A and B are shown apart, each in its own frame.
Chain A
């Protein structure tokens, strides 16, 4: 008797819909085991992670604040992944966008600059992210270099560059030697939507990005080109679509969105530039993109779900003394199960019995 993995005759659409849910289910089971091993009650731990943050208004706002960069970056990444261009460097594009926008904030610090500062900061962030993402894209198109490696390596470059700036030229002189810039002026800060909360304009921008991406992918010819180039490259070439151009375009768009998310995060919730502005948003966004099946609406839901786990993780740290790193473990296990469950869309298990039994039936 053998367990065999065989290819399906055609793509299973039931599995395609249900796979993220199965993956979440399996992750919850695995996490329960993990909590039990850590000596914590699995039921109450799961409650603190998933249920408790949904129960009070402050946590709900925090989920929206955390989901904003995740959704924005993941939508950009989904365009790349649909075109078979693997942008793994969104984290670096996020940081470079933050740096570029912060440059203007630092430059106009203390001067009586007008309200043009914030919009220009956002534009600078997006533009810098786009240009930074074009580096691995051009390397891929011109030299055939693996964009996975180049984009990932550039993350470290961006991280260290940011570190240098806040420890050196941009450090707040009145900041007691902490590696951070001075607090941004009000004109350089993202406005808050509700008085007294941290929910800011970035959340609205994230929703606009989701809407724009939905229209792009479903209704425009460019969106069609992106989808075909990834799904059937030879057919795309036959249709006259230039895959090099689309790689450059999708990298530029995802870099711009990551950079925009970066400057919004710095000019909004954080308020100044410092190392560690990102708890790995650029990498978590990859999980969000796949959990959301590379579909903008799916990404919105997946982003909110993962933000929920971020907030749940912070609360579990206080309520049950569970280390914050467990959140990262959860996200990693979730990605693992999502990819595993996705393979059942195209393949299935079959039990194959020994051939001896077949010959017994004849004669």
Chain B
């Protein structure tokens, strides 16, 4: 492939066994909050630590609403509809869910996942303020935010023009690596990712998928929503399908034994 570097093959760790249920959704039903939204009806799923659940489906299947319900951007009336690491969280805000160890990567990088005109360190602060040492007595510890940027840059190979540029100046792939990186560096118990490699170059996509596999191998529960079936085939242990907003079928995925050559 013509990308100017070797793209490493994405490999799952051998002998990965799922552990306890870390993310459970019980009969989640939610009315849309905008006229073009999709209503969620009786969604149930269970995700154990160490496994990756892929949710397949095209745009408009309710995945945005599901993300908002899982993240806490939309609250459910019944606390037990979303359970994170055993704690009923349906009524908790996104900050409270992050404190329980959940992390989120939304579909839209600029404007939702990051504030485009703000620096990477400020965007690291955006999701890390409640669960790290970035905020002390109400004051921002810039050294801590910069160190998160540095660690994400090094671990996930984020290419950028200077140490702390504006989010909007990064390419899609590099920004996505940063966003996924800042969440993974928090060692979450549960990671919910929507469209992890949409609009991302091949090299960055490989890095991100490997990072998700490694995170699951370390015991976290990873939920990936994607409309790319090849991607889900590569990284997911189980696949569910969302079709007009009800969770329909689940298939168990056999790991492919040979990887098709890419050119």
Contacts and interface: CB of A to CB of B under 8 A. Distances in A.
Interface of A: 10-11, 219-222, 224, 227-228, 231-232, 234-240
Contacts of A237: 73, 94
Interface stretch (B50-58, B134-142, B223-231): B134-142
A10 B122 CA distance: 19
Interface stretch (B37-45, B108-116, B210-218, B252-260): B108-116
Contact of A238 (B118, B122, B126, B135): B126
A220 B106 contact: no
Given A239-B126, A240-B93, 20 more contacts: A11-B117, A219-B140, A220-B138, A220-B139, A221-B125, A221-B138, A221-B140, A222-B138, A224-B129, A232-B114, A234-B112, A235-B111, A235-B123, A235-B126, A236-B115, A237-B73, A238-B106, A238-B112, A239-B127, A240-B95
Contacts of B104: 238
B98 interface: yes
A235 B113 contact: yes
A230 B130 CA distance: 20
Given A10-B169, A220-B138, A221-B140, A239 B118 contact: no
Nearest to B95: A240
- Ranked 9 nearest A-B pairs via Cβ: A240-B95, A232-B115, A239-B126, A235-B115, A240-B94, A221-B135, A234-B112, A231-B115, A228-B115
B127 A238 contact: yes
B117 A231 contact: yes
Contacts of A231: 115, 117-118
Given A221-B129, A238-B126, A240-B93, A232 B140 contact: no
B116 A232 contact: yes
B168 interface: yes
B94 A232 contact: no
Nearest to B142: A219
A239 B129 contact: yes
A238 B106 CA distance: 9
Main SS at interface, chain A: helix
B71 interface: yes
A232 B104 CA distance: 17
A219 B142 CA distance: 8
B122 A224 contact: yes
Contacts of B114: 232, 235
Contacts of A238: 71, 73, 94, 104, 106, 112-113, 126-127
26 contacts: A10-B168, A11-B117, A219-B140, A221-B125, A221-B140, A224-B125, A224-B129, A227-B118, A232-B114, A232-B115, A232-B118, A235-B111, A235-B113, A235-B114, A237-B73, A238-B71, A238-B73, A238-B94, A238-B112, A238-B113, A238-B127, A239-B126, A239-B127, A239-B129, A240-B95, A240-B130
B115 A220 contact: no
A238 B97 CA distance: 12
Nearest to B94: A240
Contacts of A227: 118
Interface residues of B, number: 31
Contact of B112 (A10, A222, A235): A235
Contacts, number: 66
A10 B116 CA distance: 11
A82 to B, nearest CB: 12
Contact of B139 (A10, A219, A232, A239): A219
B138 to A, nearest CB: 5
Contacts of B106: 238
Interface string B60-75: 0000000000011100
A244 to B, nearest CB: 13
Nearest to A218: B140
Nearest to A223: B140
Contacts of A236: 115
Interface in B189-237: none
Contacts of B140: 219-221, 224
Among A222, A234, A239, the one with the most B-chain Cβ atoms within 10 Å of its Cβ is A239
Contacts of B130: 240
A231 B73 CA distance: 18
A276 B114 CA distance: 47
A237 B108 CA distance: 13
A224 B142 CA distance: 12
B71 to A, nearest CB: 7
A227 B116 CA distance: 12
A239 B106 CA distance: 12
A219 B95 CA distance: 21
A236 B113 CA distance: 9
Contacts of B118: 227-228, 231-232
A240 B122 CA distance: 14
A236 B118 CA distance: 12
Contacts of B73: 237-238
A8 to B, nearest CB: 12
B157 to A, nearest CB: 24
B139 A221 contact: yes
A228 B126 CA distance: 9
A10 B168 CA distance: 8
Contacts of B111: 232, 234-235
A10 to B, nearest CB: 7
Nearest to A225: B129
Contacts of A221: 125, 129, 135, 138-140
